[in-house]
Structure 1
Amino acid sequence: MALAIKLFILSVLLTINNIATAEAKAVCQLQTQAELALTACMQTLDPATVPWVGLAGKPLMADNLNSGAAHWLRLDIDNANASDIRRLLAVGLPDAFFLAVFQAQNGRLATVYSIDQTTTFTQRPVINRFLYVPLTLAANAPTTLYLAYRTHGKTPLQARLLTAETLAQQDTKNDVLNGVLLGVLLVLAALLFFNHKGVGHAESRNYAGLIVFSLLFLGQVQGYNFQFLWPEQAAWNRFAPGLIGIGSVITHAWFSLRFLQVQQRFRRLYFSFVALIGLAFCSVPLYGNAYFTEWVSLLVVLYATVAVVAGVLAVRRHVPAARFYLLGALSLIVFNVVLMLLSIFGLNPFPMLSIFTYPKIAYILEPVFFIIAVLNQLRRFDEQKAELRVKRQAETELLVKAEQERLAALQEAKNQQLLLACASHDLSQPLASIRFAIDALRVREEADPVAQHINKTLDYAQGLIQGLIHQARQEIGDDQADRVLLFELFDRLHSEFATAAAKKGLRLDTVGSTIEIKGSALLLHRILSNLIGNAIRYSHKGRVLVGVRRRADAIEIQVLDSGVGLFAADCLALMSPFRQGQHRDEAGYGLGLFIVKTLCQQCHYELKVTSKLGKGSVFAIKIPLADCITER
Structure 2
Amino acid sequence: MAAGMLRLLTMIPALLPLVFAAAAAAAAASPATGPLRWITLPVETAVPGDAVAGEAAAGDFVMSFGVADAEALIVRLDHGGESRLLLVQTPDSNFATRPIAAPMLAMPVQLPPGISTLVVGYRLHADTPLQLRLRTAADYDHWQATRHLLDGVLLGLFVAMIVVALLHFFALRSPEYLLYVATCGMVLAFLAQIGGYGFMYLWPEAPGWNQVAPILFMGGVQLAHLAFTIRLLDLRRRAPLLRRAMLLIVAAVPAGFAVFFLTGTLTPLFALSVLYTPLLLIAGLGAVRDGVAGARFFLAGAAALVLFVNLAFGAGVVGGVPLPGGDVFLYPKLGYLIEAACFAGALADRLRVARAQAETALRLRLIDAEELARAEAGKYQALRIAHERQLALAASGHDLAQPLQSIRLALTAMRDDEENRRIRAHIDRALDLTRLMIDELIQGARRAPAVLPLDLAEVFEDLAERHGPQAAARRMRLRLVPTTARVEASQLVLTRILDNLIGNALRYGRSRVVAGVRHRPGFLSIEIHDDGPGISPAERDRLLAPFVQGGGQAGAEGFGLGLHIVQRLSAQSGFGLDIRARPGRGSVFTISIPRTPR
Q: Partner of 1:154 in structure 2? A: 127
Q: How far apart are the structure 1 equivalents of 2:279 and 2:155?
A: 27
Tell me by how many angstroms 1:450 deviates: 10
Tell me by how many angstroms 1:65 deviates: 12
Tell me by how many angstroms 1:197 deviates: 6.7
1:367 equivalent to 2:340? Answer yes
Q: 2:64 aligns with which of 90, 113, 119?
A: 90
Q: Partner of 2:36 in structure 1? A: 70
1:254 equivalent to 2:220? Answer no
1:235 equivalent to 2:201? Answer no
Tell me by how many angstroms 1:437 deviates: 3.4
Alignment of 1:102-121 (within 5 A): 102-121=76-95
Opposite residue 311 of structure 2, the aligned amino acid is V
My pick for the range that moved more, 175-184 or 396-405, is 396-405
Give CA-to-partner distance per residue, 1:490-514, whole Å, 9 cap, x none.
xxxxxxxxxxxxxxxxxxxxxxxxx
SS at match of 2:92: coil
The TM-score, its normalising length taken from structure 2, stands at: 0.62
Opposite residue 78 of structure 1, the aligned amino acid is E
Asked if 2 retains the 8 angstrom alpha-carbon contact of 1:197 and 1:378, the reply is no
SS at match of 2:83: strand
SS at match of 2:321: coil
The TM-score, its normalising length taken from structure 1, stands at: 0.59
SS at match of 1:156: coil
Q: Partner of 2:447 in structure 1? A: 477
1:138 equivalent to 2:112? Answer yes
Q: 2:436 aligns with which of 458, 461, 466?
A: 466
Opposite residue 194 of structure 1, the aligned amino acid is L
Tell me by how many angstroms 1:303 deviates: 1.3
Q: What's the C-alpha RMSD, in Å, of the aligned pairs? A: 3.5
Structure 2 vs 1, CA of residues 244 and 457 (structure 1 numbering), >3 Å: closer, same or farther? same
Q: Partner of 2:192 in structure 1? A: 219
Q: How far apart are the structure 2 equivalents of 1:81 and 1:314?
A: 66
Structure 2 vs 1, CA of residues 166 and 273 (structure 1 numbering), >3 Å: closer, same or farther? same
Opposite residue 43 of structure 2, the aligned amino acid is I
Tell me by how many angstroms 1:383 deviates: 2.4
Tell me by how many angstroms 1:474 deviates: 6.3
Tell me by how many angstroms 1:432 deviates: 1.9
Opposite residue 296 of structure 1, the aligned amino acid is L
Q: Partner of 1:572 in structure 2? A: none
Asked if 2 retains the 8 angstrom alpha-carbon contact of 1:198 and 1:204, the reply is no
SS at match of 2:100: coil
Opposite residue 181 of structure 2, the aligned amino acid is A
1:381 equivalent to 2:357? Answer no
Opposite residue 317 of structure 1, the aligned amino acid is D
- Give structure 2 stretches of 5+ with no counterpart: 1-29, 49-56, 451-598
Q: How far apart are the structure 1 equivalents of 2:31 and 2:187?
A: 34
Q: Partner of 1:502 in structure 2? A: none
Give CA-to-partner distance per residue, 1:124-168, whole Å, 9 cap, x none.
01111111132222212x222222111133221111211122111
Asked if 2 retains the 8 angstrom alpha-carbon contact of 1:126 and 1:134, the reply is yes
Q: How far apart are the structure 2 equivalents of 1:472 and 1:155?
A: 102
Tell me by how many angstroms 1:179 deviates: 0.4
Structure possessing the higher radius of gyration over alpha carbons: 2
Alignment of 1:160-171 (within 5 A): 160-171=133-144
Q: How far apart are the structure 1 equivalents of 2:60 and 2:326?
A: 26
Q: Partner of 1:314 in structure 2? A: 287
Tell me by how many angstroms 1:382 deviates: 2.2
Give CA-to-partner distance per residue, 1:297-330, whole Å, 9 cap, x none.
4322221111111101111111111010000011
Q: How far apart are the structure 2 equivalents of 1:479 and 1:368?
A: 73
Q: 1:304 aligns with which of 248, 261, 277?
A: 277
Q: How far apart are the structure 1 equivalents of 2:88 and 2:410?
A: 138
Structure 2 vs 1, CA of residues 239 and 191 (structure 1 numbering), >3 Å: closer, same or farther? same
Asked if 2 retains the 8 angstrom alpha-carbon contact of 1:103 and 1:110, the reply is yes
Kindly tell me the number of residue pairs found equivalent between the two proteins.
414
Opposite residue 224 of structure 2, the aligned amino acid is T
1:193 equivalent to 2:159? Answer no
Opposite residue 166 of structure 1, the aligned amino acid is D
Structure 2 vs 1, CA of residues 102 and 479 (structure 1 numbering), >3 Å: closer, same or farther? farther
Asked if 1 retains the 8 angstrom alpha-carbon contact of 2:95 and 2:200, the reply is yes
Q: How far apart are the structure 1 equivalents of 2:255 and 2:383?
A: 70
Tell me by how many angstroms 1:365 deviates: 1.2
Opposite residue 160 of structure 1, the aligned amino acid is R
Alignment of 1:552-631 (within 5 A): none
Q: 2:103 aligns with which of 129, 132, 138?
A: 129
Structure 2 vs 1, CA of residues 151 and 272 (structure 1 numbering), >3 Å: closer, same or farther? same
SS at match of 1:79: strand
- Give structure 1 stretches of 5+ with no counterpart: 1-63, 481-632
Q: 1:340 aligns with which of 313, 338, 356?
A: 313
SS at match of 1:113: strand
Tell me by how many angstroms 1:458 deviates: 7.6
Asked if 2 retains the 8 angstrom alpha-carbon contact of 1:90 and 1:131, the reply is yes
Percent of aligned positions with the same letter in both sequences? 28
Tell me by how many angstroms 1:79 deviates: 2.3
